[in-house]
Amino acid sequence: MTPLNILLVLSAGLFFAGLFGVAARRTILMQLISLEIMLSGPALGFVAVGAYHGSVEGTGMFLMVLGLAAAEVALGLAIYLHMRRATGGDSDLAHRLRG
């Protein structure tokens, strides 16, 4: 196992852990946290591969993922606040597509 492979396995593990979280949890807040974990997995992969090839694109990609995650969390939390008032923060109860 080269260090790169260890890092890639770690990033895949993060991704699947996040995916499991999104699928298994019913609390919207926990699902949002799991989404962040899902995003961090590939981000780690970008950084690792960038460092392996000695190029700066990996780090740049990571910064973009970071910005994307920040925007997504900002929107997601706003929606969460609204849905919490309607459903009490349970995503299964929010299945009618109505505010």
Partner 1 sequence: MLAYFLLLVPLPPLGGFLLLALDPYRLERRAVMAVALAAGIAPLVLFLPVALGYFAGSIGDTIAPAFTLNFGQFEVALAMQLDALSAIAALTVTVVASCVMIYAADYMASARVADLRRFFALMNLFLAGMLSVVMAADSIVFFLGWELMGLCSFFLISYNMNSPRAFAAGRKAFVMTRIADAALLAGLLLLFLEATSVRIADLIPAGLAAPEQRAVVIAVLLLVGALGKSAQLPFQTWLPTAMAGPTPVSALLHSATMVAAGAILLIRFAPLIEAHPGVAAATAIAGVATAVFGALCAVAQTDIKRLLAYSSISQIGFMLLAVGMGAPGVAMAHFVVHALFKSLLFMSAGVLSHASGGTTEIRRLRGSAYAAPISFATYVVGAAALAGFPILSAGWWSKEAVLGAAVMAGPFGQFLWLVALGSAALTGVYAYRPVWSALRSPVEPLPAIKENWLAVGPLIFLATASVLGSFLVGPIVRTMGGTVPHAGLGVEVMGALAAIAGLIGSVVVSFSPVWSARIKRARRLRAGMQMDAIYYAFLVRPYRRVVHKLSGRNARKDTSHEAETDRTDGGMGDPVGTATVNLGLWLARVVTAPFVPDRFDLVTMRSTREVRRAGVWARRLQTGRLRTYVMAIAFGLGVLVILGWGMTWG
- Closer CB to partner 1, residue 51 or residue 94? 94
Residue 20: other Cβ atoms inside 10 A: 13
How buried is 45 (Cβ within 10 angstroms: 0-12 exposed, 13-18 middle, 19+ buried)?
buried
- Closer CB to partner 1, residue 28 or residue 47? 28
- Closer CB to partner 1, residue 2 or residue 92? 92
Spatial separation of the C-alpha atoms in residues 99 and 96, rounded to whole Å: 9
To partner 1, the closest distance from the beta carbon of 4 in angstroms equals: 20
* Region class of 5: left (phi > 0), else alpha (psi between -120 and 50), else beta: alpha
94 near partner 1 (CB under 8 A): yes
23 near partner 1 (CB under 8 A): yes
22 near partner 1 (CB under 8 A): yes
Where along the sequence are the contacts to partner 1 (CB under 8 A)? 19, 22-24, 26, 31, 91-92, 94-97
